[in-house]
Amino acid sequence: MKAMFTNLLALATFLMATHSGLAARPTQPNILHIHADDHRPDGLRALGNPLLVTPNLDAIVEQGMTFTRCYTMGSMSGAVCQPSRTMMLTGRSWKRIPGAPGAAAEADDPATFLPRVIAAAGYQTFHMGKTGNGFPTGTREFEINVVDDARGRPPENDRAHCCQRLADRTIEFLKSRKADQVDKPFYAYLAPPVPHDPRSAEPRFHDLYDADKIPLSPAFLPLHPFNNGEMTVRDEKLAPWPRTPEDTKRQNAEYYACVTGLDHHVGRIIAHLKQTGEWENTIVVVSGDNGLSMGDHGLFGKQNLYEFGGMHVPLVIAGPGVTHGKSDALVYLMDLFPTFAGLADAEIPIGVEGKTILPILTGKETKVREVLYTAYKNCQRSVRDDRWKLIRYPLVDRTQLFDLNSDPLELTNLADRPEHAAKVAELTARLAEEMTSFADNAPLEVANPKPAKWSPPATARNRARRG
């Protein structure tokens, strides 16, 4: 009973602190955000992949709230991570982030970026990780900003040990706070460059995965059945055409090794927080900037709108006051901006479009929106609700409709079946509404669509095999 009373008291104190403008600084939680690169939404054992060895991150899943329907909104380039990270650190949608055509003048003000907003609430801010294809203008606003892309570095700083360096420097930061008697809470944004290619981890983690024993996804295809508008982008050239089982299994084994390496070194950070007594007042967030196809639907990149493709990402939040379990709420990564601001009791700038998910984390609400829209360049648009998903390819006049309840891997396109014509019309209209609300003026139909049939060019096919 005493332990139960202590837990309830801690929860009540935390909730008052995070929802009251009068909260005293010591009750503000630390925020530890691990934001991986190209991390699929099923990219942990506890998120649905039994092949993965991820005990430390699995423990976060078991202790916290998993958002099974979290997405980045869209991208105007093949480097999906760039607008994704920018949306997250500005709270703005893809057409209104700094530099986008619909951006307001205040979007470029660093004072409206998340690190500055959190710092203004009394936090010490720390960032370590990638800058390439990120949001360097935003990450420069962290009080401590450590760059480590593992690109062009000497052998002692090779890619295989990037997660070790991430943990080393983060633990150094945490120790320095103790040494300097820093009494502020911290906001640490850790952005490891994995499991993005080149997929190199320490040998001990590669040794855990035998490519020959990795089964192919039921969604594996040798070739995507039509031209989605971005068939030969860089990511798609990392595998041969047609896709082969052998190469696909090898790439997945390497991917898994990188995830396991990240898990191991995140565990070191968590262990340090527990040893120093800071874990009990830390909100930990695990997420990814975008997904990755890895052979599903004949694709390898993130330049598509399938559920296990480009925009669907993992999101797990754990810590004091957070309800345990799963949420099927439709959320965006940009929702983390007002959520973190709410945790920090910080003021939210004008122009932030993300919606706080604190009411879901505390069990007060179950959803923040009815539908969710995603986009890629001018060639792909999608909208989904709790059950149905429509993907529109205007440049080739193709439409896909999936019943995600019965077909979560999107294996059966229902769009051309007469009995689903009304649902296609309904979702197409809703898609147009969402596009308008987010300043997206790309057409859903074009005057002269291109042929949908596609086959890989010989030069691209040969280049992929050589790579």
pLDDT value, residue 24: 35
Are 144 and 126 in contact by the 8 Å Cβ rule? The answer is yes
Measured CA to CA, the distance from residue 370 to residue 65 in angstroms comes to: 20
- Which residues in 77-232 belong to E strands, given as ranges? 124-129, 144-147, 186-191
Position 131 scores a pLDDT of 66
Question: Which position has the token pair 């559920």?
Answer: 307
Q: Report the pLDDT value the prediction gives residue 305, as an integer from 0 to 100.
A: 98
Which tokens sit at 279? 């874990």
- Beta-sheet strand order (sheet of 325-327): 144-147, 124-129, 186-191, 30-36, 282-288, 315-318, 65-67, 325-327
Query: By CB neighbour count within 10 A (0-12 exposed, 13-18 middle, 19+ buried), where does 53 fall?
Result: middle
The pLDDT assigned to 158 comes to 84
Q: Which superfamily, per CATH, for 2-370?
A: Alkaline Phosphatase, subunit A (3.40.720.10)
CA Rg value for the chain: 22
User: pLDDT at position 459, please?
Assistant: 62
pLDDT of the residue at 157: 52
Q: Which amino acid is at 276?
A: T
Nearest to 76 by CA among 445, 374, 429: 374
For residue 270, give the nearest of 160, 159, 157, 174 by alpha carbon: 174
What does the pLDDT read at residue 10? 45
The predicted structure's pLDDT at residue 27: 80
Q: What are phi and psi of 218, to 5 degrees?
A: -60, -20
Confidence at residue 130, expressed as pLDDT on a 0 to 100 scale? 78
Structure confidence at residue 152 (pLDDT) = 43
10-residue stretch averages of pLDDT, the chain, 467 residues long:
42 45 58 98 97 98 98 97 97 96 92 98 95 86 83 59 96 95 96 95 98 97 97 96 98 98 98 97 98 98 97 98 96 98 97 97 96 98 98 98 98 98 98 98 96 83 42
Q: Where along the chain do its domains lie?
A: 2-370, 376-466
Alpha-carbon torsion 363, 16, 315, 318, what sign?
negative
User: Which phi-psi region, left, alpha or beta, contains residue 234 (left: φ > 0; alpha: ψ -120 to 50)?
Assistant: alpha
Query: What CATH number belongs to 376-466?
Result: 3.30.1120.10
Distance from C-alpha of 216 to C-alpha of 199, rounded to nearest angstrom: 19
Helix or strand (DSSP H, E) at 404:
none
Q: CA–CA distance from 296 to each of 103, 236, 455 (Å)?
A: 34, 12, 17
pLDDT at 17: 44
**Token output for 57:** 């991150």
